[in-house]
Amino acid sequence: MEKKNLFTHIHEMETQMGQLHGDLAELKMIVKELLEDNQRLTIENEQLRKLLKREAPADLPISSALAPVARPAGPAPGEDVVGEGYDNLARLYHEGFHICNVYYGHLRTEGDCLFCLSFLNK
């Protein structure tokens, strides 16, 4: 093999290795995103299962436990009137979900959120 052909061949191999390295880095990022998403969904699934077990009576099938429950029309005398929407948001926050306008509906993975807490304290 001539010296010029050898140099050209080495240069082509170097170019191919660079492309393979780029492809490998891209695949690594995709796998990382998939693993993070899988972990988030696993945690959310576990929390939803715990919630469903806690709220569903043992003798009722799950489908009937999810049926709407009749609520009284008005508050009892002497009881503070806090809206049902506020109660639902507080329940969602305590179940581990954001209720703030920044991350609404996302799973809280790093403890308390100051935006959510300030919203609840209004």
Mean pLDDT of 19-45: 92
Angle (nearest 5°) at CA 33 between 31 and 34 = 65
Q: What is this structure's pTM?
A: 0.42
Reply yes or no on whether the pLDDT at 104 is more than 60. yes
The reported pLDDT for the residue numbered 30 is 94
Structure token pair of residue 91: 């329940």
Structure confidence by residue, pLDDT tens digits, 46-59: 888 888 888 776 55
Reply yes or no on whether the pLDDT at 84 is more than 50. yes
The reported pLDDT for the residue numbered 16 is 96
Q: Which of 71, 119, 78 lies closest to 99, judged by CA?
A: 119
Task: Check residues 116 and 72 and name the one with the higher pLDDT.
Answer: 116
Structure token pair of residue 81: 């009137």
Highest mean pLDDT among 25-29, 33-37, 76-80: 25-29
Highest mean pLDDT among 9-13, 36-40, 43-47, 104-108: 9-13
The reported pLDDT for the residue numbered 57 is 64
Angle (nearest 5°) at CA 91 between 85 and 95 = 145
